[in-house]
Structure 1
């Protein structure tokens, strides 16, 4: 995913610190989701809601996710009015988002108890708020918009969806998991093991070399160093039992909200092959 939250994972690949026998493809979540489901990617970070919609198509890479334990820092709903006053009003969703859009629908239905109209548009805060009463932003666009709102004192209610999920459920929120296409993994297990090992080594290096990752992030975005550093501290990459429980809680609410057709189990490469 071509966002800062993936940089700690791919930093080692980009710097040649970990050899990966693969072509790297960049894009927003919705593009990568589509490429995988069309059979054009073998392994990718996948929006977690898309795993629940296609559990037969892929296997989860162990020990790796994009998650938060409370605030996530780059997924914001920005509203002209308090959220409880959005009943009957329009909310714009970005065309780059899958999991965050699903999470917002869950929170509106089960936490805030308001019924809103959704419209999917390009990810541009000014244009979104010209069309609607609130807008969801994700990724680097959300970071820049949040910094602008904070610095200008714009009269908007800003809600971090990771923080709202934590208040609602007490659980961690898993926004994306790395997956490998099931058919590829079962046909080429040695290659799959190699790709999984490379990702896990890259994760270790990215976490160990935080300052170098931060330098690169600031260079790429032009955002203030302290701001970026605080953001990267919020993003988690774990996928242990607690994160898996949070993900299954998300899936349970997605099913109750009609966003998935069935409750799913987690099939993890090397652990559970259903």
Structure 2
């Protein structure tokens, strides 16, 4: 039985929307949760495969294999990872920022952006539940991700300085940022290669089908669950990059380089272990 981690955010919906869960249930079980919990479950061996935070792969890269051509990335604005600030980002040095406890990649991306690109070295960070009003009671800014961030931006767009971390990363690096990767525990790949091949095929076909129809049906479903309108959600999905090509890999490796230099990763990540499905091996890129 393959245990599949499923992130409870709309940004991964294209991969899951059209998959045949009943067919996959013959050899798989879905485990939905927020990214931070899925990261821990994968590290503890409670999940075999799934979309996890890119930072979590960096921490455990020796134990994981990446599925090819699947990711959640952006080249510019990501649309669901925002810093909400009472003051301009240039003036945050020496201030206090509340971080959502739901993420791993985004909090380290924010710290890297503020330290390396703005020279802010004296910020006080507090990690807490992603409740916007509570986060800003005693802090100058807060970081939210996923649907929490989208909802807050709808409400606060005229009241706060709002910074999209994907846009800020691209502005300074001219590289895409990969926020989530699809990773497999090595043991699971050894034990269930056929089931994982089928899962990869279904994820890829679901994303391709959603993209081919302009995310129209998916957007209508998301409106029912999260509000907004179809035009917003279609534009949101079109703006994301769901492939894991050379440029996405380059951007991710640069993120890992900076994370290591800043002390957020204990070891360097100079290469990515990517499964070559046709050859039943994984390659080093």
TM-score tier after normalising by the smaller chain length: over 0.9
Count of residues in Structure 1 that have an aligned counterpart in Structure 2: 269
Note the aligned Cα RMSD (angstroms).
Answer: 1.5
Residue 200 of structure 1 and its aligned partner are, at CA, apart by 1.6
1:203 paired with 2:213, answer no
Higher relative contact order (CA 8 A, sep 6+): 1
In the TM superposition, structure 1's runs of 4+ consecutive aligned residues that sit over 6 Å from their partners are none
Aligned pairs for 1:1-274 within 5 A = 1-13=7-19, 16=20, 19-20=23-24, 21-115=27-121, 116-150=123-157, 153-154=158-159, 156-209=160-213, 210-264=215-269, 265-270=271-276, 272-273=282-283
Residue 73 of structure 1 and its aligned partner are, at CA, apart by 0.4
TM-score by length of 1: 0.94
TM-score by length of 2: 0.90
Residue 269 of structure 1 and its aligned partner are, at CA, apart by 1.1
In terms of fraction of residues, the more strand-rich structure is 2
Residues of 2 paired with 1:191 and 1:131: CA distance? 49
Range that drifts further, 97-106 or 222-231: 222-231
Residues of 2 paired with 1:133 and 1:207: CA distance? 39
In terms of fraction of residues, the more helix-rich structure is 1
Deviations along 1:214-236, one digit per CA (max 9) or x if unpaired, are: 11111111223332222222211
Residue 113 of structure 1 and its aligned partner are, at CA, apart by 0.8
Deviations along 1:28-62, one digit per CA (max 9) or x if unpaired, are: 10011111111111111010011111011210000
Structure 2 runs not aligned, ≥5 long: 1-6
Deviations along 1:222-274, one digit per CA (max 9) or x if unpaired, are: 22333222222221101011111111111111111111112211001126356
Answer yes or no: is the 8 Å Cα contact 2:80–2:150 preserved in 1.
yes
Residues of 1 paired with 2:21 and 2:131: CA distance? 36
Deviations along 1:180-212, one digit per CA (max 9) or x if unpaired, are: 111110233222222222222222222223111
Residue 166 of structure 1 and its aligned partner are, at CA, apart by 0.2
Which residue pairs with 2:4 in the alignment? none
